[in-house]
Amino acid sequence: MWPDRAVAKEEDVLRMNPVYPGMMAFAERIWRGGGQSGWIANIDDGDRKSFTEFENRLLDNKKLYFSNKIFNYAKQSNIVWKLWPYNNNGDLTKNNLYPKQKI
């Protein structure tokens, strides 16, 4: 890992980057194969079942092997993302855009 910014403490690298979740996702693809060719940038590729199963395995590993590590990933397969402008005149307190969740 080569951070773009200076970090005060070594563990900040883990806080600022999804190191362990990224390693687990890469290992999953190498071990299981499959996936889709090319780069997928859309929010939903239509295979929610596989994503939910993958996410559950990822979170199981988080509990089993990374409980004392910085593992920046939170369940999101149950979230319907709303990615568009909100009619709030720039006042972010008018909408609950960012629900707080401990990661």
pTM above 0.85, yes or no: no
- Number of structural domains in the chain: 1
Give which of 59, 77, 78, 76 is closest to 20, Cα–Cα: 59
In a domain, 98, yes or no: no
Q: How confident is the model at residue 87 (pLDDT cuts 50, 70, 90)?
A: confident
Per-residue pLDDT at 103: 63
Q: Rounded CA gap, 73 and 88, in Å?
A: 29
Q: Which domain holds residue 45?
A: 11-77
In a domain, 56, yes or no: yes
In a domain, 18, yes or no: yes
In a domain, 84, yes or no: no
Q: Rounded CA gap, 89 and 3, in Å?
A: 35
In a domain, 21, yes or no: yes
In a domain, 59, yes or no: yes
Q: How confident is the model at residue 95 (pLDDT cuts 50, 70, 90)?
A: low
